[in-house]
């Protein structure tokens, strides 16, 4: 099964990199869920929490504070001004 390649980056460092089955993030319009094969998206991330379900069935929770989310070719980038693992 295809997996998502996820990068969570903050302005001054990389917060989390890994493979995931599903990513749920909060954009200005509401929550967006990304599964492998999702169409390319560029969205503005609202303050809040993003949840990443890794291939190891773990849930990684990241607090992202303002930034954007980009999805293309099963590659998800969450770039936030400030981001930290919860």
Partner 1 sequence: MGAQQRVFKQKIRSTQSLRKIFKAMELIAASRIQKAIARSQAASPYANALTRAVSAVASESNVEHVLTTESENVSRAAVLVIGPDRGFAGAYSANLLREAEELIRLLHSEGKDVQLFTIGSKAKNYYTFRDRKIERSWTGISESPTAENAREIGEALLENFDPESADSGLDEIYIVFTKFVSSVTHDPEYRRLLPLEVVDAGEASTGGGSAESSGAAAFPLYEFEPSAEAVLDSLLPRYIDSRILSALLSASASEQASRQAAMKTATDNADDLIKTYTRLANTARQAEITQELTEIVGGADALAASAAGD
Q: Please, what is the minimum distance in Å from the beta carbon of residue 9 to partner 1?
A: 4
Residues within the interface to partner 1 (CB under 8 A) = 7, 9-14, 27-29, 32, 39-44, 66-70, 72-73, 77, 79, 81-82
Q: Are 42 and 27 in contact, with CB atoms under 8 Å apart? A: no
Q: Please, what is the minimum distance in Å from the beta carbon of residue 21 to partner 1?
A: 21
Going by C-beta distance under 8 Å and a sequence separation of 6 or more, which residues neighbour residue 84?
10, 15, 62, 63
Closest CB to partner 1 among 42 and 57?
A: 42
d(CA 35, CA 65): 22
């Amino acid at each position: 099964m295809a997996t998502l390649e996820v990068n969570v980056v903050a302005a001054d460092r990389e917060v989390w990199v890994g493979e995931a089955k599903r990513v749920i993030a909060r954009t200005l319009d509401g929550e967006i869920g990304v599964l492998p094969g999702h169409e390319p998206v560029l969205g503005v991330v609202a303050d809040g929490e993003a949840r990443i379900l890794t291939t190891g069935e773990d849930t990684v929770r990241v607090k992202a504070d303002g930034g954007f989310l980009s999805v293309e070719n099963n590659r998800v980038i969450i770039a936030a001004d400030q981001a930290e693992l919860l």
